[in-house]
Structure 1
């Protein structure tokens, strides 16, 4: 079940997908360790886990469009 357009060209480079997952995981750690709010840490941790599943584990790159010959 996809919540958005996972095949958007923005997400094609691996580094962007890894950065997105790392940012969400880091945010969850900040919420837990710095702020001390375990509720938000759990919610953002779930977002990080879903992002990892969607963008790293099950991500399928869309085939590139063939060049047109005119």
Structure 2
């Protein structure tokens, strides 16, 4: 991720909002029988989780 992206996603609520939005969208596609879009958006959701939670390192304020 670029530095400006890391600054935008520092607050936890933004990371949660983006990931939950993608999960909701994926659920909507699966419930409506849109398998291709369900797979695509599920992949985006997994990428959001991986990037924004699993490997994300919040910036530390210098002491």
Match in the other structure for 2:39: 42
TM-score (norm 2): 0.83
Matches within 5 A, 1:1-70: 4-5=1-2, 6-7=5-6, 9-33=7-31, 35-64=32-61
Any gaps of 5 or more consecutive residues in structure 1?
Answer: none
Higher RCO, 1 or 2 (CA under 8 Å, sep at least 6)? 1
Between the aligned partners of 2:53 and 2:59, the Cα distance in structure 1 is 14
TM-score (norm 1): 0.76
Aligned-pair CA distance for 1:10: 1.4
Number of residue pairs matched by the alignment: 60
**Quick check: which one's helix share is greater?**
2
C-alpha root-mean-square deviation of aligned residues, in Å?
Answer: 1.4
Deviations, residues 22-54 of structure 1 (Å, cap 9, x unaligned): 100110000110x21011001100000010000
Any gaps of 5 or more consecutive residues in structure 2?
Answer: none
Displacement over 4 Å in runs of 4+: none
